[in-house]
Amino acid sequence: MPNADLRALDSALVAVARKVENDVRGDVPTGIAVSMVALLVVLFVPLVHRVRAYPTDLPPLAWDPTAVERVHRADRDLHLVSAAPEVLATWSVLASAQAAQDTARAVEAQQRFAEVLAEGTQGDRAAMLRLRAAARRVFLRDLDVPRMPLTVIARRHGLTGPDVPPGVGVSVGTLIAWFDFRWERLSLPTPERGELEPTEDTLQRIPAPERRALVAWGLDARCPGLTGHDDYPRPGDPMRCARLRRESVEAARSLDRAYPLDEALAAVDVMEALAEEDVADAAEDTGLRSGALASAQAALVRAQERYGAILRARRSRRIERYLMGVVAELGRTEP
């Protein structure tokens, strides 16, 4: 876009965003602010369609692939415990059930895996790490075999396969981190009341370089990869994806105090709203469509509030543009 056009759009968006911010404070009637947004869209639509009105991705987190791979190389020298064959066999059964999306069999297999692992290691963390390293080596070795259960699951999560875009999710370091986190998550005893361990606690049981790698993937991955659903989006998927993204954002902030937490959380809300709109567009049932649109509006309102709070703390033309885009989208999603 020519610089003159961008400056004109920038100035107009800033003016409207400030009006909207005042409206949030109660200084300007809602009708005036919304009317100004509508006027802006009409006047500047040739420019707006070439400028990102709101975020469609999250701020990235830097990580070191070589550090992750060093941990993996060191693990190759570990000696296995005597229980290795039985533990690895139950792990394979669990992976097969999950690859087949057989929920009942997967629940039973996970319970059995956790029991066999606990019995075989007798609480020895070092022994468990040796078993995890052995299972990881098998996983990486078999990635080129399309029908291997864990390869199927990794492909569902967008980590491997012919459909993965170049440069996305193909790092060996990402695969190592994803596998180790999955092992740690599934090695937990099945909770009696369905309560899961907080993600942050599970992250603490994988090496520090892997934590950054996994969180970086969680920030970068698309929703089908995060949820592992081939037929995304389904009703409820946008909310589940947003929850996983918020966990990644909060983990990123704990790993890097400079990570822009508030801006990233607002972006999660925006992306959740856009995904809910996709569900609404595909819905044939009126009730389902109305519910998805209501969820989209709720997410946009949260994003509007977050961007407003950021602007009250500091001025940013980019955030002001995002705020304007969110307000315009709110008007579009009205029932």
Per-residue pLDDT averaged across 294-299, rounded?
95
Where are the domains positioned within the chain?
A: 3-58+258-332, 65-221
Per-residue pLDDT averaged across 230-243, rounded?
83
Task: Output the six-digit token pair for 167.
Answer: 């440069």
Q: Give just the sign of the alpha carbon dihedral 190, 196, 197, 203.
A: positive
Query: Which has more pLDDT, 53 or 184?
Result: 184
Say which residues have a Cβ less than 8 Å from residue 72's Cβ, sequence separation at least 6: 133, 136, 172, 176
> Using 50, 70 and 90 to split pLDDT, how confident is the model at 17?
low
Q: Are 270 and 299 in contact (CB under 8 A)?
A: yes
pLDDT of res. 32: 56
Per-residue pLDDT averaged across 261-289, rounded?
92
> Using 50, 70 and 90 to split pLDDT, how confident is the model at 2?
very low
Cα R_g (the chain), whole angstroms: 23
Per-residue pLDDT averaged across 6-18, rounded?
50
Q: Tell me what percent of the residues of the chain surpass a pLDDT of 90.
A: 56
- Summarised one tens digit per residue, pLDDT across range 132-162 is 999 999 999 999 898 999 999 999 998 987 5
pTM (2 decimals)? 0.81
Per-residue pLDDT averaged across 257-279, rounded?
95
